[in-house]
Structure 1
Amino acid sequence: MKVLLKVAHGIDALNEWVARIAIWLVLIVTLETAASAIVLKVLDVGSNAFLEIRWYLFSAIFLLGAGYALQKNAHVRIDVLTGRLSRRAQAAIDIIGTLFFLFPVSLMVIWMSWGVFAESFVSSEVSSSAGGLLLWPARLLVPAGFGLLLLQGVSEMIKRLAFLSNQGPDPLGEKKMSAEEELANEIRRQREAAGEGVK
């Protein structure tokens, strides 16, 4: 299990590194959007390439950040039922979900998108829009993003198996309070502090 946990930490480090790059893409796409809007307004010059590069960057941010979102448990979860279960039961459900949903879907998307990317790369496919860009870089983002998501799924499964076998910490960490619970606790603290001040 120690070797597997090292593998999991390596995958985590890879997705953190990729996420750092994706974070910078947010700045780049913001600057590109502002620049293209200014150029269009001031010089009345526009190009489909500006619009397409924006699409590429948005796609890269979303697809390359998916593995990191899974690592940080920042993806959409519906915890109406599982939130009431024990951490061990939640870990078991996560393993089942990873095995029967995340892995098959990720593998299917990688398999189906790789052929599309390869064909686009070999033919040097270009967007049909006037002044459009090469399409293969955008098509490569799909298998790359789902590959990183698949790897992170492996990491999360290892961490949950280690937790269930008492060889690793709880992968979800401390249970976080909802915004409502935090507000209620803060109100309670302020009331207690005000009550102590009166006495």
Structure 2
Amino acid sequence: MRALLKLSNAIDWLNAFVGRYVIWLILGSTVISGVNAVVRKAFNMSSNAYLEVQWYLFAASFLLAAGYTLLNHDHVRIDVVAGRLSKRTQVWIDVFGFTVFLLPLCFAILWFSIPFFLKGYQSGEMSNNAGGLIRWPVFLMMPLGFGLLMLQGVSELIKRIAYLMGLIEDPTSKKVAKTAEEELAEEIVRLAEAKNKIA
């Protein structure tokens, strides 16, 4: 079980790493959207490529962050009944859900999306829109995203079983951490203080 817990920690690290940087795709999508709107209104010109790259980036951020969201227990849960049950029963429900629903679903999506991506990559499929982009990069996001989600599902399953065996503390307790906004604000303050010391 120790080896499985090490695997779980490695998967957690991977999804935390991906989640930390995927947020920048949202910023990129927002900036492109704003620039596109200004150029369209001010100069009466635009390109479908701008619109498509926006949804490419948004799709990538949504799919690639799914595992990170599961790691942080931020998916929507409606625990009307389960919330009233004992912690062990709740963990058993999670084990059942991961085993019967999440992991088979991720496997099925990988099964169908990998050939779909490979076909698009080999054919060099392009968007039908004038000025549109090549499609395989966005097709790649589906197997990558569901692959990361499946890995995180395995990690969460390992943690639940380890908890039931009494090897670790409750893996479902949400760790209170600083938000990305709080971390950014602290970094800005730290940089400003460092700049003031230099000056």
Tell me the TM-score range normalised by the shorter chain.
0.7 to 0.9
| Paired letter, 2:167 | Q
Q: Following TM superposition, by how much is the alpha carbon of 1:116 offset from its aligned partner in structure 2, in angstroms?
A: 0.8
Alignment correspondent of 1:193: none
List alignment gaps of at least 5 residues for structure 2: 177-199
1:109 and 1:18 mapped to 2: Cα distance? 20
Q: Following TM superposition, by how much is the alpha carbon of 1:149 offset from its aligned partner in structure 2, in angstroms?
A: 0.3
Q: Which has the larger radius of gyration?
A: 1
List alignment gaps of at least 5 residues for structure 1: 177-199
Residue 38 to residue 95, structure 1, CA distance change in 2 (3 Å): same
- Aligned Cα RMSD in Å? 1.3
Alignment correspondent of 2:72: 72
What is the TM-score when the length of structure 1 is the normalising length?
0.86
Is this contact kept in 1: 2:73–2:174, CA < 8 A?
no
1:50 and 1:4 mapped to 2: Cα distance? 44
Alignment correspondent of 1:139: 139
Deviations 1:9-57 (A, max 9, x none): 1101100111112111111111111111111111111000000001101
SS of 2:22's partner is helix
Deviations 1:44-103 (A, max 9, x none): 110000000011011011100100111111001110011111111111110110010001
Q: Which runs of 4+ in 1 moved over 6 A?
A: none
What is the TM-score when the length of structure 2 is the normalising length?
0.86
User: Equivalent residues in 2 for 1:86-105 (5 A)?
Assistant: 86-105=86-105
Q: Give the count of matched residue pairs.
A: 176
2:165 and 2:135 mapped to 1: Cα distance? 46
Percent of pairs identical after alignment? 49
| Paired letter, 1:156 | E
- Confirm whether residue 36 of structure 1 aligns to residue 31 of structure 2: no
| Paired letter, 2:99 | L
